[in-house]
Every structure is written in C-alpha cells, then in structure tokens.
Amino acid sequence: MSSIPNKPAPAAPPQQGFVFLPLIAGWLIPGAGHFLLRKWGRGALLAISIICMFAIGLAMQGKLYANAHDILEILGLLGDLGSGLLYVVGRTMGLGADSVQLTVADWGTRFIVVAGLLNIIAAVDAHNLRTGRKS
C-alpha cells in the first residue's frame, strides 16, 4: 500500500477590508459584530442577553463604576466599560450613580459587570469569525 503524505491544510484566503470592524462594532453595540457578519441568530441572542442583563442590573439599583480607588473597583470599571455604549448612555443619564445600599443592588452591580464581560467575549468571537479562526 502506498501511503499518502499528510498535506497541510489550505491557507485561509486573505481577508479583504478592515478585519477589526466586527470587534469594534460588537464592543460598542452588543451583537453588532455578528450582525455585520450576517450571523443573525447569534447576534440577536447576544444582543438580547447583554442588554437584558445590563437593564436588569440597573433595575436592581446596581452601580455603574465611574472612578476606581482600589483594585476591585478598577476591575468593576473595566467590566462596565466592556458594555460599550450601554455604559456611556447609562452614565450620561445618571443611572447607577448611587452607592449600593441593598443586597439586591450588589447583585445588580454584578449583573452589569458580567454583561460587559460577556459583551467583550462576544466582540472577540465576532472578530474570530471575521478572520476565519472560527466558523
């Protein structure tokens, strides 16, 4: 029997255009990176999930971090910034500015941070789809 040598996988075709557009759009607006790539179902699921988590967090009187005095507040601020324009709109409207005084509000703060972190993961996923690292 003759053995067939292993052929390397064909290289992905070079990407045309700005490959970081889905990453940036997905960070600014939840689900937008997937919408640009015509992944309608995934984009809608991510947009609904992230926006609802953010809104529920605010409804629970969660805090939006504006400044950071210690490492935990820095991490919370970075998580909040992951929400992109949701964070900017929330801060502009004065939402989440109160200090946390209820246990429910503390959970609301966590919802907001996790929404931002999920949005970052979704934006990176859109970038990986665009560059061909994931299908």
Amino acid 101: pLDDT: 77
Nearest CA-CA partner of 95 in 68, 122, 56:
56
| Confidence at residue 7, expressed as pLDDT on a 0 to 100 scale | 64
Give the count of domains, the chain: 1
Say how far apart CA 21 and CA 32 lie, in whole Å: 10
Does the residue 105 lie in any domain?
Answer: yes
Can you tell me the distance from the alpha carbon of 121 to that of 116, in angstroms, rounded to the nearest whole number? 9
> What pLDDT, on the 0 to 100 scale, is given for residue 18?
79
> From CA 52, how far away is CA 120, in angstroms rounded?
16
Inside any domain, residue 10? no
- pLDDT digit string (tens) for the chain, length 135 residues: 556 667 665 545 545 677 899 999 999 999 999 999 999 999 999 999 999 999 999 999 898 998 888 998 899 999 999 999 999 999 999 888 877 677 888 899 999 999 999 999 999 999 999 998 887
- The verdict on residue 61 lying in a domain is yes
Q: Is residue 62 part of a domain?
A: yes
**Does residue 3 lie in a domain region?**
no
For position 14, what pLDDT does the model report? 47
Running DSSP on this structure, what letter comes out for residue 93?
T
The two three-digit tokens of residue 75, written as one number? 């991490």
Q: Does the pTM exceed 0.75?
A: yes
Q: Could you tell me the residue range of the domain that residue 113 belongs to?
A: 21-131
Query: DSSP string covering 60-95, please?
Result: TTPPPP---SSHHHHHHHHHHHTTTHHHHHHHHTTT
Would 90 be classed as within a structural domain?
Answer: yes
What pLDDT, on the 0 to 100 scale, is given for residue 4? Answer: 62
pLDDT for the residue 122: 96
Residue 5: inside a domain? no
HSE-CB for 13 with a 13 A CA cutoff: 4
Residue 83, classified by CB atoms within 10 Å of its CB into exposed (0-12), middle (13-18) or buried (19+), is buried
Per-residue confidence (pLDDT) for residue 103, from 0 to 100: 82
Residue 14 lies in a domain: no
pLDDT value at residue 8? 60
